[in-house]
Structure 1
């Protein structure tokens, strides 16, 4: 353990250093100049600092204030060595962060006892800090593991949906990235943007409960079939609800609300405006835009600009105007996502239907 001793008197410096060497695992670092000592302390963190009160260039009080002004030295014990026994000085020193005092002329047994006690306290302090650091690391590791497990669950459920709906694979990848791009354009926190992109692929997980005759039907659905299809948000929410994990909880929220419309005409609950969770308002644009611009069993892809115009046209009715504005601001990033994950050509019928 390093003990810095600052005293312009060579004899006091020699005696103090000799006493410190008698303490197991203690290394004295003697300095005759307070300015030299401050330069050294700027880049080092000792376990104990002992400073003389009366020194040239900088007295002990001024040096004490500079020590305490440095964050890495804030909790290092500091002993003031002084011949001044006045209460005024000691109170002022204590208020400035002094830990203990030694009175000149130095009494060796007292110096040894005080230094040993302070170094023991410092050692205990370091051990507590190390234990806290270990605990923090373990908590971070456990949190990361839980996050990884949740991500894996989401990925596996999304993969399960692909087996029911062949169009889902590239669709969920694109719309997840569209959702992240819109969230970033809105200025959401990076962690929220990342979680949204991870949760968005679960928006249509409820389709696993829809019969193949409806889910895979080419062309338009009948009114009865459409009513059955409209149950997939409720089914998806039932699959995901009840989790305390933020990712699964948000996935459940998105599954239930991504077909709600800003004017209240959506389903399944007919929510309006900001009653609809922001995550759902974002995913609604991403989901519809991807549905319009890619091939489906029931439609050809729309040109990108035509799909963009559709989103703008329905701002304030189907879509949240603020989210539409964010979508438009991020248009270059939207195009990049679209071109990065192209669908194979598919011969279908022109239709704006979005299921």
Structure 2
């Protein structure tokens, strides 16, 4: 433990250091200039401070106020040493953060007892702080384990949809990263962006409930088939809200599954929502999903040129898509191209 002694009288410093030395296992630091002591405290954490009240230039009150203002010094015990027994002095010292007092001339037995008490208090506080840090680390580890399990569940659900859907796993990865870009550009909080990134891959999980002859049809769907296909948004929501427990990630994924085919002009499905009535995550996924679908080759279609897909997004901003989401996506164009290059599809013959 580190003991700091501040007194302008060198004789007092020698006596107090000698008495402190009777307490085993401690390092004693002495200063006869309060300014130098404060400078030392800026880079060190004493475990106990012995502070003289009557000092020139910077008195005990001023030192105590400045000491308590230093980062991390709020809980360090301070014993003020004074020849003054007036209650007003002690009241003021207590207001500034003093923990105990000694009166000159210092009694050896009282000195050692009060020192032991304050050092024991400091030790207990440090143990509690260490325990709190340990508990916080354990909570972070447990939370990380839960997040990893959730991501594993998402991956498995997404793989289920992938086996029924002609879209590739690379599409899911690209789309999730596009969503992340848009969320960051919109200034969403880090935890909201992480939630969006984790939940977006489940946007089309409802396609597991669509019959193969419709889902895998190589040509254009007729009106009846399209009506069935559009049910995948609600099916996905029903799947993701069917868990018998509350889960923020699955709730976000359910919201995305239900809303990512809505259009800001109200002409989308399944609820015909418009504008900001459409959840923001759904509006973000709509941009990312459509762009990647347009620019990806499939067995039944050729990929659009990037410029044509950009023009489509720009033309549909404010009608199909949220204009802010389109603007955010296009503002990150270089990163979009990097994502496309990183997560390429296998070659398709169109």
TM range (shorter): over 0.9
User: 1:353 corresponds to which residue?
Assistant: none
Matches within 5 A, 1:154-173: 154-173=154-173
Task: Give the corresponding residue for 2:135.
Answer: 135
Structure 1 residue aligned with 2:119: 119
Instruction: Tell me the alpha carbon deviations over residues 252-278 of structure 1, each in whole angstroms, 9 at most, x when there is no partner.
Output: 111111111111121111111111100
> For residues 61 and 249 of structure 2, what CA distance do their matches in structure 1 show?
54
Note if 1:253 corresponds to 2:258: no
1:45 to 2:54 alignment: no
DSSP-derived class of the 1:25 partner: coil
Residue 277 of structure 1: aligned partner: 279
The TM-score with structure 2 as length reference comes to 0.93
Q: CA separation in 2, counterparts of 1:343 and 1:9?
A: 79
Cα drift, residue 150 of structure 1: 0.8
In 2, the alpha carbon distance for the partners of 1:10 and 1:329 equals 67
Alignment: residue pair count? 348
Q: Is the 8 A contact 1:6 1:50 kept in 2?
A: yes
How large is the Cα RMSD of the aligned pairs? 1.8
Gaps of 5+ in 2: none
Deviation, structure 1 residue 286 = 0.8
Distance 2:64 2:263 in 1: 65
Residues of 1 paired with 2:94 and 2:108: CA distance?
Answer: 23
Deviates more, 1:184-193 or 1:287-296: 184-193
Residue 20 of structure 2 corresponds to 20
> In 2, distance between residues paired with 1:297 and 1:180?
28
What is residue 352 of structure 1 aligned with on the other side?
A: none
Structure 2 distance, partners of 1:341, 1:96, is 61
3-state SS of paired residue (1:42): helix
Aligned equivalents of 1:61, 1:184: Cα separation in 2: 49
Structure 1 residue 301: Cα displacement = 1.0
**Per-residue deviation, 1:72:** 1.9
Aligned to 2:195: 195
Deviation, 1:283, is 0.4
Q: How far did 1:200 drift?
A: 0.9
Per the TM alignment, residue 172 of structure 1 is displaced from its structure 2 partner at its CA by 0.8
Q: Which runs of 5+ in 1 are unaligned?
A: 349-355
Q: Aligned partners of 1:53 and 1:78: how far apart in 2?
A: 12
* Moved >4 Å (runs of 4+): none
Shift of 1:287: 0.8
- TM, length-normalised to structure 1: 0.92
